[in-house]
């Protein structure tokens, strides 16, 4: 092709600027300076650098937290670390056997007692295996029903957990979890009907746990009752004609 003489001044100006900047075009077939630099860093070196940066940042955060956090939060982290260590080791020194007994036979006994108390206190006239309450049923709020709105269901779940611990059966843990979902749904169906029958049921729901007894809720409820000098905190839940 013919060379355009009008482009000569532009080419000379471009060449002078590149020469002043020290630019040297790479030889054909050879990698450029940038690509050669990237090629020298292996994947292993990249992982090492990333790990070093990560650990340095975490160490800095931990040091700042130790200096600034309240002692209570430091104990919380220490307890978390201890529990994770015990989880990995799989053995709790000194009290491990006692904990296993409490979580095995202890849960079975507690669950059996809670379920039996629920059956006895509910009475034969109110007892039914179905989700629909019996006709003219009576709302129970004392005894086991002051700890759980469904103490029989809670007792079954505690027995299931205890059996899983005693038999070292993960399958029983799964079955107990499925039983919890089933009983929770069934209890919701029951309560939707009980709320229509008993005007005070919504107030009863607000202070008594649905399934598992909640010690904190029970203590707060009893403290509030003591402040009000109320001997029967469930008196307002009963129907007018009971």
Cβ(87)–Cβ(141) under 8 Å?
A: no
Same domain? 86 vs 103: no
Same domain? 127 vs 196: yes
Count structural domains, the chain.
2
Same domain? 171 vs 230: yes
Is residue 17 domain-resident? no
DSSP-derived letter for residue 5 is G
42 Rama class: left (phi>0) / alpha (psi -120 to 50) / beta:
beta
117 or 59: which leads in pLDDT: 117
Please report how the helices 151-167 and 105-122 are oriented relative to each other, as an axis angle in degrees rounded to 10: 160
Last residue within a domain, chosen from 90, 115, 141:
90
Helices and strands counted in the chain (H then E): 10, 0
Look-up: residue for tokens 């077939």? 29
Same domain? 83 vs 104: no
Same domain? 115 vs 229: yes
Same domain? 77 vs 152: no
- As a whole number of angstroms, the distance between CA 101 and CA 38 comes to 61
- Specify the pTM: 0.64
Q: Summarize pLDDT for 140-179 with one digit per residue, the tens.
A: 999 999 999 999 999 999 999 999 999 989 999 999 999 9
Same domain? 68 vs 180: no
Same domain? 137 vs 224: yes
Q: Summarize pLDDT for 109-133 with one digit per residue, the tens.
A: 999 999 999 999 999 999 998 989 9
Q: What is the pLDDT of residue 43?
A: 82
Same domain? 174 vs 105: yes
CA angle 83, 85, 87 (to 5 degrees): 70
Is residue 57 domain-resident? yes
Confidence grade of residue 224 (pLDDT, cut at 50, 70, 90): low
- As a whole number of angstroms, the distance between CA 110 and CA 66 comes to 42
- Domain enclosing residue 143, as ranges: 99-237
Is residue 105 domain-resident? yes
Same domain? 78 vs 120: no
| DSSP letters for 223-237 | HHHHHTT-S-TTGGG
DSSP-derived letter for residue 146 is G
Same domain? 76 vs 121: no
Q: Summarize pLDDT for 17-49 with one digit per residue, the tens.
A: 555 455 555 555 555 545 444 556 688 888 888
Q: What is the pLDDT of residue 241?
A: 40
CA angle 38, 41, 47 (to 5 degrees): 125
State percent of the chain over pLDDT 90. 38
Last residue within a domain, chosen from 30, 58, 90:
90
Same domain? 76 vs 135: no
DSSP-derived letter for residue 41 is S
Q: Summarize pLDDT for 170-217 with one digit per residue, the tens.
A: 999 999 999 999 999 999 999 999 999 999 999 999 889 999 988 776
SS3 92: coil
């Amino acid at each position: 092709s013919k060379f355009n003489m009008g482009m000569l001044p532009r080419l000379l100006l471009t060449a002078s600027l590149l020469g002043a900047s020290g630019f040297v075009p790479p030889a054909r077939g050879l990698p450029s300076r940038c690509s050669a630099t990237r090629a020298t860093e292996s994947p292993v070196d990249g992982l090492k650098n990333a790990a070093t940066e990560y650990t340095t940042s975490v160490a800095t955060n931990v040091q700042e937290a130790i200096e600034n956090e309240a002692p209570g939060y430091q104990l919380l982290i220490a307890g978390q670390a201890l529990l994770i260590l015990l989880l990995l080791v799989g053995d709790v020194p000194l009290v491990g056997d006692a904990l296993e007994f409490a979580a095995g036979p202890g849960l079975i006994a507690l669950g059996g007692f809670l379920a039996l108390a629920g059956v006895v206190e509910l009475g034969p006239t109110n007892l039914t295996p179905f989700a629909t309450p019996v006709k003219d049923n009576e709302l129970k709020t004392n005894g086991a029903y002051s700890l759980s709105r469904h103490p029989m269901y809670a007792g079954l779940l505690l027995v299931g957990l205890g059996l899983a611990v005693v038999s070292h059966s993960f399958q029983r843990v799964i079955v107990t979890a499925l039983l919890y979902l089933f009983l929770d749904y069934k209890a919701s169906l029951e309560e939707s009907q009980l709320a229509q029958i008993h005007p005070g049921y919504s107030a009863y729901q607000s202070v008594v746990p649905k399934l598992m007894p909640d010690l904190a809720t029970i203590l707060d409820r009893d403290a509030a009752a003591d402040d009000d000098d109320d001997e029967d905190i469930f008196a307002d839940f009963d129907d007018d004609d009971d």
